[in-house]
Structure 1
């Protein structure tokens, strides 16, 4: 699989499982309740997952992860509570997903392994087999586990910081800084992933 196909696969995955559901949700908010809008948006990664399961006989872990995010968002709609809890709905979701990264250490392979498989290999059986064979190398396992740890820390850290701020700032102040916290943690995790992957590839090449 060449670089263009990999990039195309990444873009399509992010569009189908990320951008499209969010766009559908935002559009439907003007016509229906948040619950209905989220339910319809969550159906998109579900359909993509079913398609992958039927066509490739393999569960798409990334699509499942995105679907779980929407299901948690649906659950957060029913949380109710005071203004602080309402403001923390998104962090409830990111915190739970961050814990999922940590929990994946209890399984044979961490969550990032399946994300890397989805984004760098695609559905080519030969490439999938070659990627799976790399798990036998200690450094490969180390790199993916570190990435999983970093993403878990980033998501749980974002939830923790926003939870602290919502009870120590006014609502106006919180809304002013909230997105900076979210993008700061996520951006840092993305940058780490990009540069750590480059470092790992150079080391493996030696």
Structure 2
């Protein structure tokens, strides 16, 4: 019985390539798409706050399942929160998205 549970877990694991694509979509493309969709009908701070909920939810699910944080997801969440702080201090959301993009490139180059 123990062996069958281990075999099931191995089958359920994603390949590294699939996991990276999934993480990029959930933590990068989805928040950006949500922000672009919402920013035309509400303030950019509120739209960005709502878009930040996607990486937050992904990190919470990953934390509950694996008992550790997803490094790339946590980095994305940090950059979105940093963007919200910069906007609230009077900056432009474009600066925040440049920071987010640069952090994504850095994370991908470092192999996280």
Counterpart of 2:96 (choices 75, 90, 97) is 90
Q: How big is the shift at 1:7?
A: 1.8
The list of structure 1 runs, each at least 4 consecutive aligned residues, that deviate by more than 2 angstroms after superposition, is 85-94
Tell me if structure 2 keeps the 8 A contact 1:17–1:66: yes
Aligned residues: 97
Structure 2 residues without counterparts, runs of 5 or longer: 1-9
Q: Distance in 1 between matches of 2:97 and 2:35?
A: 18
SS at match of 2:28: helix
Q: Higher Cα Rg: structure 1 or 2?
A: 1
- Does 2:19 match 1:13? no
Q: Conserved in 1, the CA contact under 8 Å of 2:83 and 2:93? A: no
Which residue in 1 is equivalent to 2:54?
44
Q: CA deviation at 1:24?
A: 0.3
Deviations 1:125-156 (A, max 9, x none): xxxxxxxxxxxxxxxxxxxxxxxxxxxxxxxx
TM-score (norm 1): 0.41
Structure-1 separation of matches of 2:85 and 2:44: 11
What per-residue deviation string (whole Å, max 9, x for no partner) do you get for residues 77-136 of structure 1? Answer: 1232xxxx6487238735x95xxx8xxxxxxxxxx36x1xxxxxxxxxxxxxxxxxxxxx
| Matched residue SS, 1:14 | helix
* Shift in CA distance, 87/38, structure 1 to aligned 2, threshold 3 Å: closer
CA displacement 1:146-196 (0-9 Å, x = unmatched): xxxxxxxxxxxxxxxxxxxxxxxxxxxxxxxxxxxxxxxxxxxxxxxxxxx
Distance 1:31 1:86, change over 3 A: closer
CA RMSD across the alignment: 3.1
C-alpha contact 1:76 1:92 (8 A) present in aligned 2 = no
- Look up the match of 2:5: none
